[in-house]
Amino acid sequence: MFKKTILAALSSIMFAGPALAELVVPWFAYRTGAYAPSGIPLVDGINDYFTMVNERDGGIGGVPVRVLECETGYNTEKSVECYESTKAEGSLVYQPMSTGVTYQLIPKATADGIALHTLGYGRTSAANGRVFSNVFNYPANYWTAASVAVNHLLAENGGSISGKKVTLVYHNSAYGKEPIRVLEMLADKHGFEFNAIPVDHPGQEQKSQWLQIRRDKPDYVLMWGWGVMNSVAINEAANIRFPMENFIGVWWSGSENDVLPAGMRADGYKALALNAPGTDYGIYDELKANVWDKGLTAGAGDQIGSVLYNRALYMAFLTHMAIKKAQEVTGVADISQADMIKGMEALEITDAMMAENGLKGFAPSFKVTCEDHGGSGLGAVQQWDASAKTWNLITDFIEPDMGMIAPLIKEDSEAFAKENNIAMRC
Amino acid sequence: MLYREAGDFSTNYREDNQTFPIKFDRYRYYAIMLIAFLVVPFFVNDYWVNAIFLPFLIYAIAALGLNILTGYCGQVSLGTGGFMAVGAYAVYKLMTAFPDVNVLIHIVLAGGVTALVGILFGLPSLRIKGFYLAVATLAAQFFLVWVFNRVPWFYNYSASGQINAPERTFLGFTVTGAKTEAWVAYLVCLVFVTISAIVARNMTRGALGRSWMAIRDMDIAAEIIGVNPLKAKLSAFAISSFFVGISGALYFSVYLGAVEVGEVFGINKSFLVLFMIIIGGLGSVFGSFAGAAFLVLLPVLLKNVLVGYFGWQTDVAAHLEFMIIGGLIVWFLIVEPHGLAQLWRLGKEKLRTWPFPY
């Protein structure tokens, strides 16, 4: 009996092939480990969005979408396993949700001809489509984030932050190191004093870093954190009574799971935003009607309406639109991996499209081209209101300093192209 | 019945001392080698190689290395992750500094660099033992990771602080980089594993291995019978680090292709390899393989069965995986504290008298 079960299990694993046409969207989830506070809302959001699409429209262009969840625990080796195991199932676009894994997958996915979409993370210079044929990081990246944060500080200080001290607390990995170069250049340009303090993976211990901040007394602290590191940092900042309104996190360091543990002491903490927070959007009615009321909610359903859940809806929306675009461009409903790249390259997100999908005013519009895989680069600033337990946008979407960032992207990507003998496209 | 010495006559010392004195064992070994080298490469795909074979083979080399130090020489080390990082960064620096030299030579040289670093961090072992030495090697672990994160020269000043393996070929076949064929990567690692295992086996049963074991069993007695502790301990550190360095180099260049030192070579890696040799069996070449297989293959198998077959939620499966593997480790250690290798040994003893045990 037992042997038969094992045999059946093995054979079904080996011979399970796609019988029906479907659009496979793989998702590197981390519901476990030190990064789970950030990973759970994302994976729930993605699942809910595509459940809604399947329930409401019967898929995209009549072909149902299957979200292929693979648990990585934010671990590189498991991510490799996930990539290999989902690759053969016709995965359309990989969203690894980790900058380190993105670096790993860029050459692999390029060799396999599969699209890679790193929304607001990953390798910044992948914005140059002339070098990176299948890697996309629209609508914004870390360099624009750094610039948006500095521009916000400039606006708050009447256009000059010369002589101020700005400290970056960062996750000591490819992710956290990414903005340092741009912040250093911005420090030269605007005359502020910049220093960076690393926090080692996974970031549960930050006493010494915050002691250093207490000694240095910076005017502003920026943070590039993820997972459990965020809530620890906000707690530590509260412990040294650092003024929260002078503490700005990147868009990965500003969700409910990060501020709630510090309670009222986190009041006034700021973070960047790629999309608006809150549940005041038409899509939430659709989700309620098609997903939650039918009992199809992913996970525990306690993440609904959180910042990262909204981020996941945005990611899913962009994937949805790209698949639609690909179907439009190629005229095939059951698109292939190569078609998906074409769709992403032709993607244009307009305000009308967002309104049509119940996301009016959710995020800025942008356009992807063969040369530019980076999108608009716009970011807003949101602030935490601890008594109402809500995030509120306190600025419009701010323009980054593209005059400085664009040449940097060009330089970095061209160096990569030269190193790896990649011919320029477009 | 099949598995016995009877009828298998040794006519010289060489035959008397061979690794597999029993005919059945010997043929099984040849068969495994034949299948591994001549059959498997024709049937593997990307998934089997990248998710199963490469991690297993590479961890087996690391476990072999640590087993020499901890299992044979009795020096507990928690610095394996750091030494693997030395191998990875050494091969990266060599690959980028001398692109014309063959990458396989670089991998061996990376092992040599790690051996030197291992000797350096092995020096305290001449004065301290046991837990205290474990803490000293723990310091090596943290120091090495910190250095590779801190000094930009090691990662060639790249903005992300990551190292990426450039594309290199051997006899016209791509060995590193994204375009590597699955079977090439598999064969490269298999060759390294085979040579490492044969070298380790022969070293541990020769004069050097005996001096290590003497130090392990009682260092004062060993010194009295004429074993030089300086030579024995430092050679154990050097040779162990050499293997660990090779595994780190393969891990970076052939398997992952891009590495972030803090996440990949952290303290968890040191513990993982230590658990491999404890579960597999201290002081046993076979144990290194068994331990690596247990800790690398079982999670993948469980994941495929729980998620792929039963269709469970991925997080439930991940949590259950921890529980099952943790439970199995405890159960194994209670039932057989000397590891899987001892179970194997007992099994073979029983087989000799089967089906008529006395």
- Report pLDDT for B150: 86
pLDDT at position A14 is: 46
Checking if the pLDDT of A108 tops 80, the result is yes
Report residues of chain B scoring pLDDT below 50.
none
CATH code for position A65:
3.40.50.2300
Return phi, psi of residue B299, to 5°: -60, -40
pLDDT at A415: 87
Same domain as A373, residue A294: yes
Element (H, E) at A247: strand A247-249
Domain assignment present for residue A6? The answer is no
Do the chains contact at B160 and A71, CB–CB below 8 Å? no
Mean pLDDT of A65-79: 89
- CB atoms B160 and A419 under 8 Å: no
* pLDDT score recorded for residue B265: 92
Q: Residues A254-262: what's their mean pLDDT? A: 91
Considering the domain architecture, whether residues A387 and A310 belong to the same structural domain is answered as no
Residue A12 resides in a domain: no
- Cβ of A12 within 8 Å of Cβ of B177? The answer is no
Do both A136 and A149 map to the same domain? no
- Phi, psi for residue A67 in degrees, rounded to 5: -85, 120
Same domain, B158 and B232: yes
Determine, yes or no, domain membership for A18. no
Q: Are residues B244 and B140 in the same domain?
A: yes
| pLDDT given at position B356 | 81
Residue B86 and residue B212 in one domain: yes
- Looking at residue B63, what is its pLDDT? 96
pLDDT in tens, A133-153: 999 998 899 999 999 999 999
* Residue burial A340-351, b: 16+ Cβ < 10 Å; e: rest: bbbbbbbbebee
Q: Do A81 and B300 touch (CB under 8 A)?
A: yes
Residues B186 and B106 in one domain: yes
CB contact under 8 A, B51 and A85: yes
One domain for residues B136 and B169: yes
Cβ atoms of B109 and B101 closer than 8 Å: no
Assess whether A55 and A111 both reside in one domain. Answer: yes
Residues B257, B184 within the same domain: yes
Q: Do A32 and B300 touch (CB under 8 A)?
A: no
Residue B270 is predicted with a pLDDT of 94
- Chain A residues with CB under 8 Å of B162 CB are 100, 103, 174
C-alpha span between B166 and A19 (Å, rounded): 39
B234, part of any domain: yes
Tens of pLDDT, residues A380-414:
999 999 999 999 999 999 999 989 999 999 988 89
Please give the tally of structural domains in chain B: 2
User: Quick one: A329 and A240 in the same domain?
Assistant: no
Residue B118's pLDDT is 95
- Per residue in A193-234, pLDDT tens? 999 999 988 888 899 999 999 999 999 999 999 989 999 999
Residues B194 and B53 in one domain: yes
> Residue A7 pLDDT more than 50?
no
Q: How many helices (H) and strands (E) in chain B?
A: 17, 4
Residue pair A423/A139 in contact (Cβ under 8 Å)? The answer is no
* One domain for residues A179 and A301: no
Residue A22 has pLDDT above 80, yes or no: yes
Cβ of A80 within 8 Å of Cβ of B256? The answer is yes
Report the distance separating Cα A299 and Cα A297, nearest Å. 7
Q: What is the pLDDT of residue B53?
A: 93
B184 touches chain A (CB under 8 A): no
Q: In this structure, are A339 and A361 located in the same domain? A: yes
Residue A10 lies in a domain: no
Within a domain: B253: yes
Assess B209–A contact: CB distance below 8 Å, yes or no: no
Residues A302-330: what's their mean pLDDT? Answer: 92
**Residues A331, A271 within the same domain:** no
Nearest CB to A107: which of B178, B260, B300? B178
Q: Are residues A355 and A386 in the same domain?
A: no
B179, B258, B266 member nearest A104 (Cβ) = B258
Residue A73 lies in a domain: yes
Output the six-digit token pair for B229. 């502790």
Q: What is the mean pLDDT of residues A226-255?
A: 93
Q: Examine the pLDDT at A18 and tell me if it is beyond 80.
A: no
Probe site for chain B from A31, A77, A110 (most B CB atoms < 10 A): A77
pTM for the model: 0.90
**Helices (H), ranges, B79-177:** 80-97, 103-122, 130-150
Residue of A nearest to B181 (CA): A111
Which residues constitute the domain of residue A270? 142-277+379-403
CB B86 within 8 A of CB B116: no
**Residue B217 sits at the chain A interface (C-beta within 8 Å):** no
What's the number of domains chain A is made of? 2
pLDDT tier, A15 (very low <50, low <70, confident <90, very high otherwise): very low
Q: Which residue type is seen at A226?
A: W
Q: How far is CA A309 from the centre of its chain?
A: 11
Look at residue B354 in the predicted model and tell me its pLDDT.
82
**In terms of residue numbers, what domain contains B65?**
46-267
Is there a single domain that holds both residue A393 and residue A333? no
Q: What DSSP line would sit under B54-99, residue for residue?
A: HHHHHHHHHHHHHIIIIIIS------HHHHHHHHHHHHHHHHHH-T
